[in-house]
Amino acid sequence: MSRIETTFARLKEQQRKALIPFITAGDPALEITVPLMRSMVEAGADVIELGVPFSDPMADGPVIQKACERALAAGTGLPDVLAMVREFRRGDDTTPVVLMGYLNPVECMGYERFAETCAEVGVDGVLLVDLPPEECDEIAPLFKERGVDLIFLVAPTTTDTRIGRIAEAASGYLYYVSLKGVTGSASLNVDEVAARVETIRKLAQLPIGVGFGIKDAQSARAVSRVADGVVVGSALVNQVAEHADDPMAMTAAVSEILAGMRAAMDKP
């Protein structure tokens, strides 16, 4: 089994849910990312989503847009992100790492080279926001044959028919976008999320992670009651920005948020 499959199977056996933090690679500096990834695992992360910085992140709100700007200003490119995963794997061979980003940097590198390098350095999954499942028939085999999961977003407005198409193309887990908006949006209706997750479960056999709008331990706990995984991004990236000049304070702030979420999610 893949690292992602193994992680979700272990958590299911333990009757626990996956805590999936997101940070932007290279924000605010390249040398910060890998130590922060390790600290997040120590604080309770089960899967790490690592954002590939891009100049036009259409699904992201101001917090992650600015993180991309900082990372790009620091000189972070896709090869650097892949090198970070390689470095992370030197000390951690069990925590799944998912790269989340957009098509342009991958197209510049080339799909086959990208898929090969992902497998080589230890990337477990790839989520390309602007890659629709209808257009991935030629691309998907490049990842599948190398054991790299292709993860797709499901929106509140996605039809049942399209959810079925997404489920056919996806592996690893599905990422349900809990809001009709961008990352960091304010309101989260857990009842609506629960109803949509129930619908998705009838159409897909994969674990379901829920993200967008999860800001604190309370919202993480509520979502963990209805989903298989909880994705938190903007709340952490805010702390990275706030403590950009103090890596120790940054690590402590991010770890505190994750530890609080982990405790709330595990509470009976």
- 202-223 pLDDT per residue, tens: 999 999 999 988 999 999 999 9
Mean pLDDT for the chain overall? 95
- 119-137 pLDDT per residue, tens: 999 999 999 999 999 999 9
CA 95 to each of CA 205, 229, 257: distance values in angstroms, whole numbers, following the listed order = 22, 14, 19
- 150-183 pLDDT per residue, tens: 999 999 999 999 999 999 999 999 999 987 654 5
User: Does residue 107 have an active-site annotation?
Assistant: no
User: Does residue 49 have an active-site annotation?
Assistant: yes
Q: Which of 27, 49, 149, 228 is catalytic?
A: 49
Cα–Cα distance measured from residue 237 to residue 61, given in angstroms and rounded to the nearest whole number: 11
The class (CATH top level) of 3-266 is: alpha beta
- Report the pLDDT value the prediction gives residue 213, as an integer from 0 to 100: 87
Task: Tell me which residue of 126, 193, 136, 145 sits closest to 166, measured CA to CA.
Answer: 136
Among 14-18, 188-192, 236-240, which stretch is predicted with the lowest mean pLDDT? 188-192
Q: Which of 5, 31, 46, 60 is catalytic?
A: 60
Predicted structure pTM score? 0.96
- 59-73 pLDDT per residue, tens: 788 999 999 999 999
